[in-house]
Structure 1
Amino acid sequence: MTEINQQGARKSASGLGDPNGVLPFPHVTGYWVNRLGAAFRTVVDREVKDFDLTRRQVAMMIHVERAESQRGDSPTASHLTRSLGVDSTAVTRMLDRLEEKGLLARSPDPSDGRRHLIGLTSEARTLLPKLKKTARKVEACFEAGIPVEDLRTFQRVMMQMLENAGESLDATIPHHD
């Protein structure tokens, strides 16, 4: 069981840290999650720069493709907002930019004229295998030397932490193509 003391430090029943069970700074989960996220974002941004895309744009394209294959239809902007964990204004800006680049297309939803369905263009479908290869290369760099079962446990723990924080998760542990 974990609790927060009056100073905001996390106490753990595991006994790590001082005799009172307060975790010392290097063991604070948020610190390491933030460091890992920052390192990952930096490397991905560097790797997709040659494609004239941002990591968020690449993520959006992959989410559109995944939604099409899993659900059998094109996602809406609100679906992308939920699955990417980004606010609707940011999603709209990304959609606009990807549409300008000829990688995504919006079409009216036949069942609800107020919504638009988001689909990949043929140019995006040609580019996606290269982007996925780049993503796999980055992940392989970060995952080097870590047993697969440890990676799966790490992913499950992160997903549980997100759920504990109140985040809704549309996806299961990702399987790489």
Structure 2
Amino acid sequence: MLQDRLGYLLKHAQSALAAHTAAALEPLNINGRELAVLSVLGAAEPLAQQQAATRLSVDRTTMVDLVDTLERKGMVERRSDPADRRRNLVHLTPEGEKTLAEGNRRYQEIERGLLTESEADDLKRLLRRLLANAES
């Protein structure tokens, strides 16, 4: 039966999660992809766009568009890399840091509304195993 196929379930679960996420993030003027970019940029030392693109598994053109959009919204800024003036590092602005914190809070609230903490941990563990098995 179609509804028992893993691909079908994953696709529809992701679609439902994306819809809930979009509604929760809309008041912050960001979407789920932009939250992911803010998360990567806010998690470590400043990164070049290409480094962030690699971590998110998106192509360079998409990453440029995402950073351009976040820059227009005042959430990130590009600054010259002091170690290599030919490249720019992308930094969160204070507005970006505030949006990231609130976006993460809202995202976690959505997850808690859909699954218990234990269920979410189990699902994430199984999905990581699926990805690892698919890559080997």
The bucket for the TM-score relative to the shorter chain is 0.7 to 0.9
> RMSD between aligned alpha carbons?
1.9
Residue aligning to 1:103: 75
- Is 2:133 the counterpart of 1:164? yes
| C-alpha distance in structure 2 between counterparts of 1:56 and 1:113, whole Å | 28
| Aligned ranges 1:144-159 → 2 under 5 Å | 146=116, 148=118, 150-159=119-128
1:160 maps to a residue whose letter is: R
Alignment partner, residue 23 of structure 2: 46
Structure with bigger helix share is 2
Number of the residue aligned with 1:93: 65
Deviation at 1:110, TM superposition (A): 2.4
Q: CA deviation at 1:94?
A: 0.7
Larger radius of gyration: 1
Q: Residue type of the partner of 2:96?
A: A
- The more displaced of 86-95 and 103-112 is 103-112
* Deviation >4 Å, runs of 4+: none
Given candidates 14, 23, 30, the residue that maps to 1:37 is: 14
Aligned residues: 136
Residue 28 (structure 1) shift: 1.3
Paired amino acid for 1:79: Q
Give the gaps of 5 or more residues in structure 2: none
Question: Which of these residues, 110, 128, 131, is aligned with residue 103 of structure 2?
Answer: 131
Q: Could you report, residue by residue, the CA deviation over 1:31-55 in whole angstroms, capped at 9, with x for unpaired residues?
A: 1111110001111111111112111
Partner residue in 1 for 2:48: 76
Unaligned 5+ residue runs, structure 1? 1-23, 168-177
Answer yes or no: is the 8 Å Cα contact 2:111–2:120 preserved in 1.
Answer: no
Q: Report percent identity of matched pairs.
A: 22
Q: Which TM-score applies when normalising by structure 1? A: 0.69
Structure number with greater CO (CA < 8 Å, separation at least 6) is 2
